[in-house]
Structure 1
Amino acid sequence: MEKVPEKVDIQEKERALSSVKTLSVIGLSLGICSVGIGIAVLALMDGASYPLTTGTGVWFAANPIAFGILGIAAALSTNEITQRRLLTGHYVTSILLMTQGYAFATAIQGLIVCSKGDADCGSNADAKAALRGVLIAIIFFAYLVGIFSMGLHYRKRRVLHPDWKGTHCCRSWD
């Protein structure tokens, strides 16, 4: 016997979409700031070598920017099918935000190299160390946004993802 889906409370869905939009704007802002820091580090290279040449801020930003765009588009979409697909993509990118350990590690490594005044950092070591410190904070906050987003999608799954079916561990989701 197939279970009939519950009716979705429109006001609850609007509140959930508003939260998705807020988290997405934060993620998009973090991604844009990360690109700016990555470009600034690359512009200040002047004799630097690995890990400062990796462009961590630039390539890390792809995920928070995608997260932000998908969430904002989902919140603004009026087509149910498109909105469900965008919300699923938003959920997946929130999980992917948690897989950016390499970016975090390279940012920490760059901070350590430059704070020691190592020759690998080249000139402007203090500025590069400060930029890497800010990048570490951005990546950390992106992790937090990912955690909050995953929690939001799970808590509000009945209104955001009414088509999710299956079991979680030993009990049914519904």
Structure 2
Amino acid sequence: MEKQPEKVDLQEQERALSHIKILSAIGLFLGICSVGIGIAVLSLLDGASYPLTTGTGIWFAANPIAFGIVGIAAALSTNENTRKRLLTGHYVTSILLMSQGYAFATAIQGVIECSNGSEKCGSNADAKAALRGVLIGIIFFLYVVGIFSIGIHNRKRRVLHPDWKGRCCGTSWD
């Protein structure tokens, strides 16, 4: 006979969901900022032939925006099953948030190319380098947000993921 999940401390769950909502709002805001930076870099293109890093801010932002939307929806959900699914999705997007090394590398490459005055950057190379520098900061900060989010999910798994009992890492937390 399968054991039923333990009763969840609602106050502790609300505190954990509050932290997830805050991290998600930060992720959503930074994702939107990343899109803005990507659009600004595209508007400053002016004959540049450097397409690899031009759209980094735009395509990178898809995951932080998804992270933010799913986390806020999970924190605001009143249906327990919907909340469980959204929290699992938020956990997965937290992991994906930290697997965006290619975006980090292309942003660094763009800063180096434009700082050295490469012809690939065209005119406005200094502005492009500065925008990509801000993008590097955003990506790094989102890595930290992802680490904190995974930490909250794992540390508070009894209240956030009571159905994960015995499924995480091959261990039980009884």
Q: Which residue of 1 aligns with 2:110?
A: 110
Residue equivalent to 1:128: 128
RMSD: 1.4
Residue 35 in 1 paired to residue 35 in 2?
yes
Question: How many residues align structurally?
Answer: 174
Give the TM-score taking structure 1 as reference length. 0.95
For residues 173 and 59 of structure 2, the distance between their equivalents in structure 1, rounded to whole angstroms, comes to 36
C-alpha deviation, 1:22, in angstroms:
0.2
Shift of 1:6: 1.8
2:140 is the counterpart of 1:154: no
Does the CA contact (< 8 Å) of 2:53 and 2:106 recur in 1?
Answer: no
Letter of the structure 2 residue corresponding to residue 16 of structure 1: A
The answer as to whether partners of 1:34 and 1:58 remain within 8 angstroms in 2 is yes
- Cα separation, 1, equivalents of 2:105 and 2:51: 10
The residue aligned with 2:57 is 57
Task: Specify every segment of 5 or more residues in structure 1 that has no aligned partner in the other structure, as ranges.
Answer: none
Q: 1:61 to 1:13 in 2, by over 3 A?
A: same
Q: How does 1:59-74 map to 2 (within 5 A)?
A: 59-74=59-74
Q: Which residue of 1 aligns with 2:11?
A: 11
Given residue 17 of structure 1, which amino acid in structure 2 is its aligned partner? Answer: L
Question: CA 1:44 to 1:110, structure 2 compared with 1: closer, same or farther past 3 Å?
Answer: same
Which amino acid letter does the alignment assign opposite residue 20 of structure 2?
V
CA drift at 1:143 = 0.4
Match of 2:91 in 1: 91
Secondary structure of 1:172 counterpart: coil
Percent of paired sites with the same residue = 82
Instruction: For residue 153 of structure 1, give the secondary structure of its aligned residue in structure 2.
Output: helix
CA distance in 2, matches of 1:19, 1:65: 17
Equivalent residues of 2:53, 2:109 under 8 A apart: no
Task: Please say which of residues 2-11 and 45-54 is displaced more in the overlay.
Answer: 45-54
Q: TM-score, normalised by structure 2?
A: 0.95
